Amino acid sequence: MYKNKSILAVIPARGGSKGIPRKNIIKINGKPLIQYTIDAAKGSKYLDRIIVSTEDVEIANIAAECGAEVPFLRPKELATDETRTIDVLLDTIKKLRFLGYEYDYIVLLQPTQPLRESFHIDEAIEKIVDAKAESLISVSEVKEHPILMKIIDENNETKSLLGCSSDVRRQDFQKVYKVNGAIYINKINNNFNENTSLNDNKLAYIMDKKYDLDIDEPEDLELFKLKIMQINNTI
């Protein structure tokens, strides 16, 4: 809880994954991938409850061993490649309401973004509550400026992605950021519904890019190990 606002964390972790089979529980440095996110959530000063949403019994058991709650299994129809994350969150809120639990904010923590730490979660919570904002999203600065990005048309010719001239000095470029997927926070009210686009959350929480990593392909696992060493050496 922060400033009398109750805060629910949800970690979605389905059993199916194509790039890396059983990705959410694959062991890295002796820990299941999902444990890195659970540990970060457990270290938060403000999260009132940490729930893992999964349809998979093995993942549920591992999540519980790591200290998260799995009060119910997710319906299998909400665990497909086409399932939207917003529907998973709404399903969790609905079931908790049925059990008599209400929360002011929901924090989405994806286990495939394992480098986010407890202080990131707490800073993001402080930011959205203090700003009295409806939604927040974590972002990281990127070097590759979109003004230099091109698309290739049917004639194999390049065209500006932004549709504008790239004749701008690099030092004049405005900073640009990408959604890094580490933290999403939304106020639970009537505006948080099936039409909500989480990637369009408004308030920005800027994270150092050294914490930016999405585990999607096998090579990302080795990069994760390397980044862990780099972060530990700078603390």
**Domain boundaries of the chain, sorted by first residue:** 7-141+178-227
Q: Which of 99, 98, 6 is nearest to 48 (CA)?
A: 6
CB proximity list for 73: less than 8 A, separation 6 or greater: 54, 55, 57, 60
Question: What six digits make up the tokens of 198?
Answer: 């989480």
Indicate the DSSP class of residue 140: E
Q: Which of 91, 49, 94 is nearest to 74 (CA)?
A: 91
Q: How confident is the model at residue 16 (pLDDT cuts 50, 70, 90)?
A: confident
Q: How far apart are the first and last CA of the chain?
A: 27
Task: Tell me which of 174 and 122 has the higher pLDDT.
Answer: 122
User: Using one digit for the tens of pLDDT, what is the confidence trace for 126-169?
Assistant: 999 999 999 999 999 988 766 667 778 888 877 766 666 666 66
Q: Which of 133, 147, 144, 222 is nearest to 178 (CA)?
A: 144
What is residue 153's predicted lDDT score, i.e. its pLDDT? 82
What is residue 231's predicted lDDT score, i.e. its pLDDT? 84
Rounded Cα distance between 138 and 122, Å, is 12
What is residue 17's predicted lDDT score, i.e. its pLDDT? 80
Return the CATH number of 7-141+178-227, one of 3.40.640.10, 3.30.300.90, 3.90.550.10, 3.40.228.10.
3.90.550.10
User: Using one digit for the tens of pLDDT, what is the confidence trace for 53-93?
Assistant: 999 999 999 999 999 999 999 999 999 989 999 999 999 99
> What percent of the chain is predicted at pLDDT more than 70?
91
Identity of the amino acid at 174: Q
Q: Is the pLDDT of residue 114 over 90?
A: yes
